[in-house]
Structures are given as C-alpha cells and as structure tokens.
C-alpha cells in the first residue's frame, strides 16, 4: 500500500510517499520505524506518537495498531495538530 | 496580590485624562486576564449597543497574570472591543514585548475611550499618560511608525500601531506590534476612530509571584517539553505546512469556497517555497517554539491563513504574487483572512456578472494586489471592499449573501466546513464570528473521535471543549501552539496559576472559569443585538456539495440540530 507523508513526517522521511506491505497499522508503523529511522521517535513501538496522526484513505483517522489494512489502502501521516 | 496589579487604567483621549481604577481580586480570579478580563471590562463600559467607531466605544488592551513570567509563550496581550466588521464582541491576540511593557506600566488592562483632537500617539510611561502629536506618522506602515516612535521616545518603549488602513477605518484593519498582528475583527479601525496612530508603553512596575521557585521549576519543565514533537510542525515548517495536507484532504478553500482542492497547492507549500528563497525563523519574546517563518528579501512572515486567503481562495498559485500580497496587507495593516475572503467574494460576483469590475478575476495576481491597494486607500471599489464581504453582499444584492464567506460578518478562515463539520459548528456559534482560534474544533475533525464529514450530536461536546480550552488559553494567556505539550491541561494550568497567584485553583474551577468567559462574550452579543439566526453558515455550505468531495454534505437541518444541541449543552 501507499504511505503518504505530510509536514514534519515528510521532512523527516525525505520523500512524499513510500510503498509498504503491511496487514495492520501497527505492522506498518513498525516497518516505517525500521526503514525510515528519522521517523522512529514519532512512532512508539507499533503506535503513533500523540503528535502524529494517521488517516486511512483520507477518510477516517485511525490510531489502533490492530486496524486492518488492504493492499489498495493509502495511509496518510500528518501532524496531529492542524492549527493554522 | 500576586500576579496582578489589581487595577486598570481608563483613559479618555478626548481630554487626555486618565484614572486608575481597581479590579477586585474576585473578578481577576473569575476572568483571569486577556480575553476574559477584556470581556468583563467591555461589559462594564456598557456600550454594547453603540457604534463601535464612536468615541464612546471602548478599546481595551488586556494583559495576563502570566505575562512577564519565565513561562514560555506568555508574552501576549488581548485587544478587546466591539467589532466594526461584525458589530459583535471581538477579541484579538498579538505577541511579544508590548505585552510585557504594557503590564509593567502598572495596569492589568488599559481601557481607551474618546477621540483625540488630532492624530496622536498615546504614551503611557510607567503609568503617566500623555498624548503626543503624530501627524508626521500619518500614512506610514506599522513597522515604520513603530521605528519612528521608538527613535523619538526611546528604545525601551514598545509600540502597538495601525497602518494607513486603520487610519481610514477599513473595517478589518489590524493593530500591529513588532510584525505581529491583533488581526481579526477590525481593532485597528477602532483605534483609528479614536484618532490614535499608536500606543507606546514602558514601565518598571513588576508583579510578584506567590511561589517563585515553583514557577521557575514549572517553567523549565514546560520549556523543555515545548522543544519536542508536539511543536515540531511549528518550529520546522510553520503553519504553512497545512497547505499540502489540507489540499489532500479536500479541505483547502479554493476560489471563494467553490472547491476544497487547489491545483497549485504544491507551489504554495513550504516544501516548495523555501527552496529558492531566503528563509529565517523568528518568534515572540519569551517563546521557545519560534513558529515564525520569514521568507524572501522583503521579510514576509508566512502563515497558512495568509497563504490560503490570498492564494487558493483567490485562485492565485504564484508564490511570488502571494508573498507580495501578504506583504502589502502587512504594510497597510489589514487582516489577510478578511482581505482575501472579501476579494474572493468580489471575484465570484464579477464572474457571475453581479459586479461590473471585469479586471477583478480569480487567478489574476495583478488584480489581487490592485484590489488590496484600493482597500488600503478606500478608493473606488476599495471603498466597498473595505466594508467586508457581508456589507458588500448587501449592497450587491441578487442573493449574493448566499456565497459571501462569512459568519456574523467575519470572513471564514482556511477550513472547509462541509468537510470539517465539527469546525462548521464552531464557526456558526463562535462569539466573534467564523473563527478557528476561538473554536479549535478542527482538532476534533482531524482525529479518530468523529467522522469529519458526517457530524452528529456527539460532535457537539467536543466543539464545546475546544471552545472552553481556547477561552482559558486566551485569558491566561498561553499560545495555542503549546496545547499539544500538556498531558493534563487543566491540572497543569491549575498548578501554574497557583504558583503565580497563590490561589488554590482546581481543574474544575478552571472549567467553570472557561464557561464563564464564553458566557460573558455571549452576554455582550445579546446586548449588542444578537439573534439565533446568526448562528449559522452561508447558504453555499448548506446546499452546494463540494465538487472534489461529494460525500461531504452538511444540510441546514443538520447544522440547525447541532447548533440547538450546542445551546442546550451550554444551558442557553
């Protein structure tokens, strides 16, 4: 599936998106923490740091590491604070 | 008394007279400072039904118990008045040294009434008040006026001033200090109506703290946490980092809210903007976050709201043009959100054949800058644009009010309400109009707590919670960019307030205080003529789907139910 990075997560990852294979949000975060070390302190084990938010396909926001993911899903990572 | 002087300064600039009047400690405990104290003082003045630009209409600068302390982000002040744009309660916050110097004059607040005989600077020197002629400052941008006055009075003065737009009573003119703006609602026009170009303050009257060592320890801890991931967005990229994310979510208002996505969003994002340009970071005095990102050789401070309002909202994708437009607004002293919203509305009226100004088209950067300059001079079309989108819609007629992007007359900030429906409720009910600072309901929409596209009555409690939290932060005063740092906001803030004032404040007391402050704003609005019909959104948002997100639909009935539930839960 595709992971899209916005804001700080994009700046840290150095790319706008990545292709990752994972069955759950928790697996995805564990993989990202390993493959993109610059993100590791925004990911606590298999969970998001409170400062980071994840949206499934731009629809609902998810935080439960057991959230199932399909191959055609897109997970968007952005700052949890949308203040402007 | 700790943390306060226990008095405010009431100045009549018609005569130059000044009184020091007491503020009971009970009032300070109930309203804290900033917005809360400002609301209490505004009600006390009893001018809710009057013309906001009349000499009798008060303009209030309210300080806080935390200002001048080692706590990060506390160098802020509130400007409170009746808004000439909305005819309703208005409070606007700005940061930096004016807050500290103002408090050091020996007053917890400064209330200004009357009208000076000539264009003047109001000088408050350690509590001694005088008026200085300021005719030579007429027409100067705020930055130049500030520099000139400090050169004349002394470098230790701190200045809040208006630009040419405030002098010409543009209804969304700002009051600015050190490049920061008390932006929304037209406080600059109120100061201009008093024939005041600027206020200069200095003093050495400091307040004592109840528990200095405890306060220092709390301050160190808060500062340390303020360097962490919760504030990284502001530190590294600034609020402009919202641009790409909001576009992706379809919540980036485009072409007068005709769409929620903009084809040139990437060009306006900080990821693209900073590459070929000089960029510097800055921050308010006494702030550890440093959220200000200054671009280009002309030093334009870039914020998401300015980018959206003068960028996507007007269909402008050229970053140089948007930076120039922002700089022009800063020079004139006008709120970028209301400027962009009013111009975008006018652009759509031209598009629809309702306004005979064929040069004013979406996407035309030259037209945007020309319109801004006309606003600043109140010349030609600018005289109408200077009145804001609601008044412009009433003069145009043809049911154009249906797509004038305002609530209670205040133009919407950069959050598309059809796709962020808790925010939609926040916009509809906020005391000062469509507002993302007095309601932080977008936080809820960007979370797993709700479905942002389909608000139900369960969303209402979250909207109330963010509104109450904002009221507290604006009264203490703490910058909202700090909010993610707190683990238990009310408990931690109670500790902070206790260390400053010695009051045995509890979290529950603070929740009551927040509700009291929100109720005070409502009380003012009731006296000013508020009716329930004002708590709504323009027809566009209730009947026209978003082309980029047809599932994001907010009906009139749905919003009505949300608003009714909000009033019920508020006990109103």
Chain A residue with the nearest C-alpha to that of B252:
A84
Average pLDDT per 10 consecutive residues for chain B, totaling 572 residues: 98 97 98 98 98 98 96 95 98 95 98 98 96 98 96 97 98 96 97 98 97 97 91 89 96 98 94 67 82 80 94 96 95 98 98 98 98 98 98 98 98 98 98 93 94 96 97 95 91 98 98 98 98 97 96 96 98 94
Surface of B (186-225) touching A: CB under 8 A: none
Chain A positions touching B466 (Cβ under 8 A) are none
Q: How far is B455 from chain A (nearest CA, A)?
A: 13
How many alpha carbons fall within 13 Å on the CB side of residue B200? 27
Phi–psi pair at B92, nearest 5 degrees: -135, 140
- The answer to whether the CB atoms of A49 and B305 lie below 8 A apart is no
Looking at residue B10, its pLDDT comes to 98
Q: What is the DSSP string of A1-30?
A: -EEEE-THHHHHHSSSEEE---SBHHHHHH
How many angstroms separate the CA atoms of A1 and B131, rounded?
67
Residues of B in contact with A41 (CB under 8 A): 229
Please name the residues in contact with B533: beta carbons below 8 A apart, sequence gap of 6 or more. Answer: none
CB contact under 8 A, B305 and A84: yes
Per the confidence metrics, is the pTM higher than 0.90? yes
Instruction: Identify the DSSP state of A49.
Output: -
A4 shares contact with chain B (CB less than 8 Å)? yes
Q: Of B513, B3, B472, whose CA–CA distance to B211 is shortest?
A: B3
Q: Give the pLDDT score at A82.
A: 82
A42 to chain B: which residues are within 8 Å by CB? 229
pLDDT of residue B277: 63
End-to-end Cα spacing for chain B? 34
Contact A11/B at CB under 8 A: yes
- Nearest neighbour of B443 by CB, restricted to A8, A62, A82: A82
**Which has the closest alpha carbon to B267: B297, B233, B306, B312?**
B312
Per DSSP, helices labelled H in A15-75 are 25-35
Give the closest of B244, B249, B480 to A83, CB-based. B480
Q: Are the C-beta atoms of residues B254 and B261 closer than 8 Å to each other? A: yes
Q: Please give the Cα distance from B435 to B39 (Å, whole number).
A: 17
Phi and psi, residue B419, nearest 5°: -100, -5
Task: Verify whether the Cβ–Cβ distance A50 to B480 is below 8 Å.
Answer: no
DSSP state of A53: E
* B483 has a chain A CB within 8 A of its CB: yes
Burial tier of B99 (Cβ tally within 10 Å: 0-12, 13-18, 19+): buried
Contacts of A51 in chain B (CB under 8 A): 228-230, 232-233, 484
CB contact under 8 A, A83 and B481: yes
Put simply, the chain B residues between 396 and 425 with a CB less than 8 A from any chain A CB are 413-415
User: Of chain A residues 52-81, which have a CB less than 8 A from chain B?
Assistant: 52-53, 55, 58-63, 76, 78-81
A4 contacts in chain B (CB < 8 Å):
248
Contact A61 B446 (CB under 8 A): yes
Is the pLDDT assigned to residue A1 strictly greater than 60? yes
What residues of B are in contact with residue A52 (Cβ under 8 Å)? Answer: 229
> Residue B454 and residue B301: Cα distance in Å, rounded?
35
Q: Is A60 close to B448, i.e. CB distance below 8 A? A: yes
Location of structure tokens 């962020």: B420
Q: Which residue has the tokens 């009257």?
A: B205
Q: Does A84 touch chain B (CB under 8 A)?
A: yes
- Domains defined for chain A, CATH in brackets: 2-79 (3.10.20.30)
Apex B169 CA angle, B165 and B175, nearest 5: 60
Query: Cβ contact (<8 Å) for A83 and B440?
Result: yes
Q: In order of start, what are the domains of chain B with their CATH numbers? A: 7-202 (3.60.9.10), 226-411 (1.10.569.10), 421-570 (1.10.599.10)
Tell me the CA distances in angstroms from B514 to B108, B300, B337, B410, one per residue in order. 19, 35, 27, 23
Task: Tell me what ipTM this predicted complex has.
Answer: 0.97
Q: Which of B469, B423, B465 is nearest to B446 (CA)?
A: B423
> What's the pLDDT score for residue B276?
57
B378 close to B139: Cβ distance less than 8 angstroms? no
Q: Tell me B454's DSSP state.
A: S
**H or E segment to which residue B10 belongs:** strand B7-12
Are B372 and B332 spatial neighbours (Cβ–Cβ below 8 Å)? Answer: yes
Which one of A53, A63, A76 has the shortest CB-CB distance to B248?
A76
């Amino acid at each position: 599936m595709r992971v899209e990075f916005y804001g700080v997560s994009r700046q840290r990852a150095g790319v706008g998106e990545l292709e990752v294979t994972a069955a759950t949000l928790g697996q995805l975060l564990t993989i990202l923490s390993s493959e993109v070390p610059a993100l590791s302190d925004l990911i606590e084990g298999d969970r998001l740091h409170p400062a980071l938010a994840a949206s499934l396909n731009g629809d609902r926001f998810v935080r439960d590491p057991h959230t199932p993911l399909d191959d055609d899903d897109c997970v968007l990572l952005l700052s949890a604070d949308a203040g402007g | 008394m700790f943390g306060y002087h226990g008095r405010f300064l009431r100045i009549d600039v018609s005569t130059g007279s000044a009184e020091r009047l007491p503020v009971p400690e009970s009032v300070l405990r109930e309203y804290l400072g900033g917005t809360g104290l400002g609301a209490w003082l505004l009600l006390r003045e009893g001018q809710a039904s009057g013309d906001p630009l009349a000499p009798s209409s008060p303009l209030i600068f309210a300080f806080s118990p935390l200002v001048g302390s080692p706590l990060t982000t506390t160098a802020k002040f509130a400007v409170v008045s009746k808004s000439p744009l909305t005819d309703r309660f208005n409070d606007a916050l700005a940061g930096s040294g004016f807050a500290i110097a103002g408090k050091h004059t020996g007053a917890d607040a400064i209330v200004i009434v009357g009208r000076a005989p000539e264009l003047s600077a109001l000088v408050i020197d350690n509590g001694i008040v005088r008026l200085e002629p300021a005719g030579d400052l007429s027409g100067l941008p705020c930055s130049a006026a500030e520099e000139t006055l400090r050169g004349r009075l002394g470098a230790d003065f701190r200045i809040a001033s208006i630009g040419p737009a405030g002098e010409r009573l543009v209804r969304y003119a700002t009051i600015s200090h050190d490049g920061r703006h008390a932006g929304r609602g037209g406080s600059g026009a109120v100061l201009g109506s008093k024939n005041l170009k600027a206020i200069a303050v200095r003093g050495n009257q400091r307040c004592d703290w109840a528990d200095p060592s405890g306060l220092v320890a709390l301050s160190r801890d808060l500062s340390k946490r303020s360097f962490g991931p919760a504030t990284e967005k502001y530190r590294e990229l600034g609020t402009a980092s919202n641009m790409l994310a909001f576009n992706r979510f379809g919540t980036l208002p485009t072409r007068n809210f005709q769409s929620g996505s903009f084809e040139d969003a990437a060009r306006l994002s900080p990821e693209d903007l900073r590459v070929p340009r000089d960029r510097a970071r800055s921050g308010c005095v006494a702030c550890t976050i440093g959220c200000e990102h200054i671009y280009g050789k002309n030093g334009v401070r870039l914020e998401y709201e300015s980018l959206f309002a003068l960028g996507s909202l007007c269909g402008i994708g050229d970053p140089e043009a948007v930076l120039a437009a922002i700089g022009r607004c800063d020079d004139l002293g006008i709120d970028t959100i209301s400027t962009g919203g009013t111009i975008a509305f006018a652009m759509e009226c031209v598009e629809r054949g309702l306004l005979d100004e064929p040069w004013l088209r979406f996407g035309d950067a030259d037209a945007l800058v020309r319109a801004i300059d006309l606003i600043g001079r109140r010349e030609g079309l600018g005289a109408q644009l200077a009145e804001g989108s609601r008044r412009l819609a009433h003069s145009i007629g043809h049911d154009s009010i249906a797509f004038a992007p305002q609530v209670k007359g205040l133009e919407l900030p950069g959050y598309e309400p059809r796709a962020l429906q808790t925010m939609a409720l926040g916009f509809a009910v906020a005391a000062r109009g469509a507002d993302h600072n007095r309601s932080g309901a977008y936080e809820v929409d960007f979370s797993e707590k709700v479905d942002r596209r389909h608000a139900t009555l369960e969303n209402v409690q979250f909207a109330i919670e963010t509104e109450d939290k904002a009221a507290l932060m604006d009264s203490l005063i703490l910058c909202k960019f700090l909010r993610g740092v707190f683990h238990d906001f009310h408990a931690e803030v109670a500790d902070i307030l206790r260390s400053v004032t010695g009051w045995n404040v509890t979290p529950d007391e603070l929740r009551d205080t927040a509700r009291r402050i929100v109720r005070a704003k409502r009380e003012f609005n009731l006296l000013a003529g508020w009716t329930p019909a004002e708590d709504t959104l323009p027809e566009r948002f209730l009947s026209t789907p978003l082309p980029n997100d047809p599932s994001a639909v907010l009906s009139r009935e749905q919003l009505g139910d949300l608003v009714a539930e909000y009033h019920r839960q508020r006990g109103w």
